[in-house]
Amino acid sequence: MATVNKKQLYIESYGCAMNFADSEVVATIMAENGYATTNDEHDADIVFINTCSIRDNAEQRIRNRLTQLRGNKKRNNELIVGILGCMAERLKDKLMEEEKLVDIVVGPDAYRDLPGLVAEVDDGAKAINVLLSLEETYAEITPTRLNSNGVTAFISIMRGCDNMCSFCVVPFTRGRERSRDPQTIVREARELFEAGYKEVTLLGQNVDSYLWYGGGPKKDFKKLTDEEREHAVDFAKLLEMVAQIDPSLRVRFSTSHPKDITDDVLYAMAKYENVCNYIHLPAQSGNSRILDKMNRTYDREWYMQKVERIREIIPDCAISCDIIAGFCTETEEEHKDTLSLMEWSQFDFSYMYYYSERPGTLAARKFADDVPLDVKKRRLTEIIDLQNEISRKKNKAREGQVVTVLVEAESKRSKDDWMGKCDQHIVTIFPKENYKKGEYVDVIIEKSTTTSLIGKAVGLNKTMNGIQIEEEAVNL
């Protein structure tokens, strides 16, 4: 058997940002046990595929990828292939025993066991651990930043989900909700800033239900004692704690559940210039009966009131949305309610899908998936066409405005241009000139597309780059 410290690890991630953040935790765990990461799968002794199970087409992509890796195994019969994450939890037996596509199956709460599981495979066994935890948050593990641009990074603040939306498999694949110690979150964000990162995104399946009290994570604020409540940190307080690290550290978060985002969160966003004016606020449907069937715990009117409240407190806040077309029993009139909600809300952009039944969910157990596929696809096309129209108009309205862009990377369209995102999370492209990656640049928007803004730099943003503070200090 080859010595451990000579082995190379290749990790490929699919799905949500949480999966990409988890892969960075996995890389750290394996590095601490002598494994180096590689960007070339053909150099790897171990390949981990971190998976998404939220929709059927995501699972099919991963199945196809695992089939491709059989070719790598033929060239290197000692290659170990492992599947991590949500799909591992859901399809453990099928992937390992029936289809024989993988050697290791590991759920999202068992990554600490990976070195031991790899050793089992080295000894000729198959290895599996998909046990879910009520406590695991990987709080003290400093993630290894994979494929990093050195400017932006994810920070996982909690794990799991308690919402039990009828269409969603996440509570079954990621377990119950638990929050991470806020001091470890602040420490990770500060270390990233000191290492040169300029933006962090706080991640959770539902960040607004984040809660930590003096003795640890606890879900229901109402059940805290007076003493516990005094020391409790909710998401609004956590957002402030991270924002206060430095005014030139941008802070984003994802994802919000409409039922849990509070005025305190909105006021914290309004108070700190470095907390970005952008909220991802999934609606899923614009019809109250369908929302009830989805177990979203709010109706159309309540959602609209939440959007109004966001725009009252943060007038320039961009809002994006998740939308599902063709959920069980959805009628044509109910589909039109979704279109009208989109018209009214004027989402800056949306993530849009047709309903894909996930085995084990409440919807799969209780409701017939009775909207024909061609109808789902046609409704989705109408949703996409409407969102594209809204996005084009909203981006067009930004022409002539000056936005602050954090430079992240070279533009894919030209090596002479920079790419970054403005405060409202819209991709913005402008000529490089003498600007550098990691700088905040004020850009006047000259043109726009459905998905991006195009402009020209007018100068560094002095406040976000700290220039103003330095000049005042010199004058003193």
- CB-based contact 184:143 (threshold 8 Å): no
| Residue 128 host element (H or E) | strand 127-129
| For the chain, percent of residues with pLDDT exceeding 70 | 95
* pLDDT one-digit tens code per residue, 101-119: 889 999 999 999 999 999 9
Query: Which residues does residue 94 pair with via DSSP β-bridges, in sequence order?
Result: none
pLDDT tens for each residue of 155-176: 999 999 999 999 998 898 889 9
Write the secondary structure of 205-264 as one string of H (helix), E (strand) and C (coil).
Answer: CCHHHCEEECCEECCCHHHCCHHHHHHCEEHHHHHHHHHCCCCCCEEEEECCCCCCCCHH
22 — pLDDT class (breaks 50, 70, 90): very high
**If 0-12 CB within 10 Å is exposed, 13-18 middle and 19+ buried, where does residue 6 land?**
exposed
Query: What does the pLDDT average to over 439-446?
Result: 98
Alpha-carbon Rg for the chain in angstroms: 23
- Segment 394-412 shows an average pLDDT of 98
pLDDT at 89: 72
Q: How far apart are CA 471 and CA 476, in angstroms?
A: 9
What number is the average pLDDT over the span 183-204? 97
Structure tokens at 193: 């800033």
Q: Report the pLDDT value the prediction gives residue 229, as an integer from 0 to 100.
A: 81
Confidence band of 338 (pLDDT split at 50, 70, 90): very high
CB 46 within 8 A of CB 8: yes
CB 442, CB 458: distance < 8 Å:
yes
Q: What percent of the chain has pLDDT over 90?
A: 76
Residue 226 — pLDDT band, cuts 50, 70, 90? confident
Nearest to 394 by CA among 278, 312, 300, 305: 278
The count of other CB atoms within 10 Å of the CB of residue 220 is: 8
Residues 32-90: pLDDT tens digits? 999 999 999 999 999 999 988 777 777 788 888 888 887 888 888 889 999 998 887 77
Measured distance CA(424)–CA(402) in Å, rounded: 12
pLDDT of res. 78: 87
CA 315-317-323 angle, to 5 degrees, is: 125
Total-model pTM: 0.91
Q: What structural domains does the chain harbor?
A: 4-129 (3.40.50.12160), 152-395 (3.80.30.20), 402-465 (2.40.50.140)
Secondary structure of residue 198 in the 3-state scheme: coil
DSSP secondary structure string for all residues of 256-301: --TTT--HHHHHHHHH-TTB-SEEE---B-S-HHHHHHTT-S--HH
Q: What is the pLDDT of residue 94?
A: 72
pLDDT at 4: 43
Mean pLDDT across the stretch 140-166?
A: 95
Q: State residue 66's pLDDT score.
A: 86
Rounded to an integer, what distance in angstroms lies between the CA atom of residue 151 and that of residue 386? 33
Whether the predicted pLDDT of 2 surpasses 70? no
pLDDT of 443-472, one tens digit each?
999 999 999 999 999 999 999 998 754 443
Residue 289 identity? R
CA atoms of 143 and 471, how far apart (whole Å):
36
Q: Average pLDDT, whole number, for the chain?
A: 92
Is residue 408 within 8 Å of 428, Cβ to Cβ? no
pLDDT above 50 (res 200): yes
User: Confidence band (pLDDT; 50, 70, 90) for 187?
Assistant: very high
Residue 180 has pLDDT above 50, yes or no: yes
